[in-house]
Structure 1
Amino acid sequence: MQTFSVHPVGVVSGGGEGPAQLRIDPAYRDGLRGLEGFGHAVAIWWAHEVDDPELRALTDAGRPYTRLDHDLGIFATRSPLRPNPLALTAIELAAVDADAGIVETPYLDAADGTPVLDLKPYTPSIDRIERPIVPAWCAHWPASAEASADFDWAPSSASNATRSAEVISS
Structure 2
Amino acid sequence: MTNPTMVVSPVGAIRAQDGQFAVQVDAAFRPALKGLEGFSYVQVLWWSHWLDQPEMRRVLMCEQPYVKGPAELGIFATRSPLRPNPICLSAAPVMRVDVEEGLIVLGYIDAEDGTPVLDIKPYSPSSDRVRAVSVPAWCAHWPMWFEDSGEFDWAGEFVNAR
Inter-partner Cα distance in structure 2 for 1:105 and 1:33: 17
The match for 2:135 is 134
1:154 matched residue in structure 2:
155
When normalised by structure 1's length, the TM-score is 0.90
TM-score (norm 2): 0.94
Pick the aligned partner of 2:8 from 6, 9, 13: 6
Partner SS, residue 37 of structure 2:
helix
User: Quick check: 150-159 or 41-50, which moved more?
Assistant: 150-159
Question: Does residue 41 of structure 1 match 2:31?
Answer: no
Q: Report if the CA contact (8 A) 1:94-1:104 is conserved.
A: yes
Alignment partner, residue 92 of structure 2? 91
Aligned to 2:146: 145
TM-superposed CA distance for 1:160, in Å, is 5.5
Aligned residues, how many? 160
Contact between 2:96 and 2:106, CA under 8 Å: does it hold in 1?
yes
**What is the RMSD computed on CA atoms of the aligned residues?**
1.5
Q: Deviations over 1:12-33 (max 9, x none)?
A: 11169x5311110110000000
Q: What is the 5 A alignment of 1:17-56?
A: 18-56=19-57
**Percent of aligned pairs with the same residue?**
47
Letter in 2 for 1:11: A
Partners in 2 of 1:37 and 1:69 — Cα distance? Answer: 41
Query: Where in structure 2 are there 5+ consecutive unaligned residues?
Result: none
Once the two structures are TM-superposed, the CA of residue 37 in structure 1 deviates from its matched residue by 1.6
Q: Please name the residue that 1:117 is paired with.
A: 118
Structure 1: gaps (5+ residues): 162-170
Per-residue CA distance 1:41-67 (angstroms, 9 max, x = gap): 100000000000000011012210011
Moved over 2 A (4+): none
- Kindly state the Cα deviation for residue 155 of structure 1 after the two structures are TM-superposed: 2.3
Q: 2:157 and 2:41 mapped to 1: Cα distance? A: 27
